[in-house]
Amino acid sequence: MLTSRWGGWLCLDFANIVEARAAAAPEEHLHTYGELLWWGADTGVLDEERAARLGELADAKPRAAAAALDRAIHLREGVFRTFHHAARALPPPADDLAAIHDRYADGIRHAELDWTREPPAWTWADAHLDQPAWAVAASAVELATHGPLHRVKTCAAEEGCAGLFVDTTKNNSRRWCEMEGCGNEVKFRRQTDRRRAARRRQPPRAR
């Protein structure tokens, strides 16, 4: 299981669970409902108690948990394509928007406004297997309606990363998912290219 936070927005971090999406062999890191719970707890979507409760529910109803995992993955792919289009100033495909609509509407139907919070917030009082997906859908709607949508970018690496992130740099200059990852590869390649070019420019050594 992979969790990364470089997306800078919950729904993008969720989409980035699949690595190297544009490469020949993308890497899936989410295989079980238990891994989804682990991701939810790691990112703070679920507190410890809720994650444990959902684990019990999943153990008691494995088929329902598998269906909830399928819905979460369907949502994740919709989120990826929606914001991958947005990053290129293209309108998202209708099916992908629908995937977000459906999970969001479902989540809101089960949510209640908790007035004891400061400020009041939507919460899910009862444990429900779809809760991690509901939180991701709410995050996607927030990014689309209130977030800095024009700051959503896709990693510039040519090796097929296609990771999504919100660029929070002052001058809007971020190009890669992670400097230690794709950024480094690109920098390394440029350095080697420059060195090779410099070598070619050098006169042949005197004997």
Q: Is 161 near Zn ion (CB under 5 A)?
A: yes
**Alpha helices (runs of H) in the chain, residue ranges in sequence order:** 10-15, 33-43, 48-60, 62-87, 94-110, 131-145, 184-201
With CB under 5 A as the contact rule, the residue among 163, 164, 174, 186 that binds Zn ion is 163
Q: Is 157 near Zn ion (CB under 5 A)?
A: yes
Residue with tokens 């990363």: 161
- The residue (of 22 and 97) whose beta carbon lies closer to Zn ion is 22
Q: Is 18 near Zn ion (CB under 5 A)?
A: no
Residues 6+ apart with CB under 8 A from 155: 161, 162, 163, 164, 165, 175, 176, 177, 182
With CB under 5 A as the contact rule, the residue among 30, 137, 177, 186 that binds Zn ion is 177
Chain centre distance of CA 24: 20
Q: How far is the CB of 85 from Zn ion (least distance, A)?
A: 18
Q: How far is the CB of 163 from Zn ion (least distance, A)?
A: 4
- The residue (of 51 and 182) whose beta carbon lies closer to Zn ion is 182
Residues of this chain that interact with Zn ion (CB under 5 A) are 155, 157, 161, 163, 177, 182
